[in-house]
Amino acid sequence: MGLIEKIEATQFRSDRPDIRPGDTVEVSVRVIEGDKERQQKFRGDVINVRGSGIRQTFTVRKISEGIGVERTFPVHSPSLAEVKVMKHSKVRRAKLFYLRKKTGKSARLTERAEKKPAAPSRAKAAKKKAEEPVTT
């Protein structure tokens, strides 16, 4: 392991969630003003995830007072206090740059349905009923 890999290993953050394009996230950013430190929240849709390892970044887009605002964050940055994934959306692209041209309802993303365990089929229920011993 070289010197660069050792330094990167000390900066690597394992507490970050898996972020994918289409996720709605809330990022808490540490802001230092003078001698005071506070956390500022930035909530929006992830439109871009690029890089890997310590150099991985993601871009979040939100609409603030009718104006689109995008901000790119390094995943392993110490200035990020917390990253919360609010919801997962169904998307078919890795880069959602087309959302820049959309406004209003057309810019919405549909929420991804979580997979539920399959209900037993009627054939299995009928077979199970036939196997039960009949008592009279």
CATH number of residue 60's parent domain: 2.30.30.790
Do the domain assignments include residue 131?
no
Do the domain assignments include residue 85?
yes
Do the domain assignments include residue 102?
yes
Helices (H) and strands (E) in the chain, counts: 2, 5
Outline where the chain has alpha helix (H): 3-11, 122-131
pLDDT digits (tens, 9 = 90+) for 7-65: 888 888 888 889 999 999 999 999 999 999 999 999 999 999 999 888 999 999 999 99
Number of domains observed in the structure of the chain: 1
Do the domain assignments include residue 101?
yes
Do the domain assignments include residue 78?
yes
Enclosing domain of residue 83: 3-111
Q: What is the pLDDT of residue 119?
A: 66
Q: What is the pLDDT of residue 109?
A: 85
